[in-house]
Structure 1
Amino acid sequence: MSSVPARTGRQRQRYEDNMRLVSGCIPYRWRKDNTEQMGETEEIIEVLMISSPKRDDLVFPKGGWEDDETVTEAACREALEEAGVKGILREIPLGIWEFRSKSSQDLCSMEGGCRGYMFALEVTEELEIWPEQKNRARQWLNINEAFRLSRYDWMCNALEVFLRVMAEDRELEMQDKNDELEPPSIIVADESECQSMSPTCYKRSSTMQHHGMPSQANLLSRTTQEIAIHFGY
């Protein structure tokens, strides 16, 4: 249960280049899918999206980055306030996107410009009561559905990077497993492929149980290279 109210107002809001700084995340989980094919255990990745107040669309939790918190603290706070979830935040951002507010009632700046930092958050807890529960409905979606319901280009771009990072994580994780264990297959589809594939277009199949995550040093190095290649820096 959460008794902490959501932050309101813009007194502590950070700005840069006349743009409002925003922090958010793509909450995700691995869901086991029952299958009897060759005794395999199949896990499907799902992401959490939330409804927008007074608008008929779904978005990822995000909000203003304030001057008394780090960008990662802001992402975790927004996930708690808007979606009512807690979890393990990947500290390296998926990327930085610039976009304009679609609502005149929620301008990012005088020109409506936002600069948003997005992270991946592995959900470990879903609260039954959260600060913005009355205005936000949450919905778990497979990747195909998430692409279809993301009305903004920057959200689709963030999902594409998210998929690549998840695939990289699983590849590194399998490298740390015992040599005698058969590595699982990883199927990653880009946005265009997801539109035509089955709802489980991004999944992991394995005959073994889940093991620990890869070493932090390897993870940071490989993921930093992936993000640099994507954004060209």
Structure 2
Amino acid sequence: MFEKNKALLQVAAIPFKYENDCLKILLLTTRKKRKWIVPKGWPVDGLSFNESAKKEAMEEAGVSGSISKAPIGDFIHNKTISRGQKTPCKVITYSLLVTDQLLDWDERKERSRRWCSISEAAERVSNQGLSKMLRIISDDPSILSRLTEK
């Protein structure tokens, strides 16, 4: 997976819901540095990219729902792979319309999660590419729902 000159690829979900007609985005913290992010991880063998992103959302944030069939965008994340060495990783991102949220999930003791407005989410995340994607969605929230499976 970490061969020289081979691009790293991850998948992510942007979990969302509407609460009193207001768009809410679910953020969660990284395990070690407690930075705000969206659920992301490596593609799973035997699963499509969007199903891998949906699986990450359940494992990391305890949410499930309808995942978009096509990506809504991508961003670059500097992934720490070993001994502090960082390498650019392209993160292909899907929207996830949340229909179920667990109180107890795999990584509950390692992460915090928070529902927030799209503008607050764009401010809280530290990754500039993800923040930019969230600002674009803020200008056109239909990006999230028009590609989501019904």
Match of 2:110 among 125, 135, 150: 135
Kindly indicate whether the alpha-carbon contact (under 8 Å) linking 2:62 and 2:104 is maintained by their aligned counterparts in 1: yes
SS class of match (1:112): strand
Q: Which residue of 2 aligns with 1:47?
A: 25
* Distance change in 2, residues 1:106/1:155 (3 Å): farther
SS class of match (1:66): coil
Query: For this pair of structures, how many residues does the alignment match?
Result: 147
Identical-pair percentage: 25
Kindly indicate whether the alpha-carbon contact (under 8 Å) linking 2:72 and 2:144 is maintained by their aligned counterparts in 1: no
Q: Which residue of 1 aligns with 2:124?
A: 149
Aligned letter for 1:21?
L
Question: Which is richer in helix?
Answer: 1
The 2-side partners of 1:72 and 1:18 are apart by: 22
Aligned letter for 2:63?
V
Aligned letter for 1:46?
K
Please list every run of 5 or more consecutive structure 2 residues that lacks an aligned counterpart in the other structure: none
Structure number with greater CO (CA < 8 Å, separation at least 6) is 2
Deviation at 1:69, TM superposition (A): 1.6
Q: Which residue of 2 aligns with 1:88?
A: 66
Match of 1:30 among 1, 12, 18: 18
Kindly indicate whether the alpha-carbon contact (under 8 Å) linking 2:50 and 2:70 is maintained by their aligned counterparts in 1: no
The 1-side partners of 2:48 and 2:4 are apart by: 15
Q: TM-score, normalised by structure 2?
A: 0.84
> Is the aligned partner of 1:20 residue 2:5?
no
Aligned letter for 1:26?
I
SS class of match (1:131): coil
- Greater radius of gyration (CA): 1
- Residue pairs, 1:99-118, within 5 angstroms: 99-101=77-79, 103=80, 112-118=87-93
Please list every run of 5 or more consecutive structure 1 residues that lacks an aligned counterpart in the other structure: 1-12, 33-42, 171-218, 221-233
> Is the aligned partner of 1:61 residue 2:49?
no
Question: Which is richer in strand?
Answer: 2
The 1-side partners of 2:109 and 2:68 are apart by: 28
- The two structures, once aligned, show a CA RMSD in angstroms of 2.7
SS class of match (2:138): helix
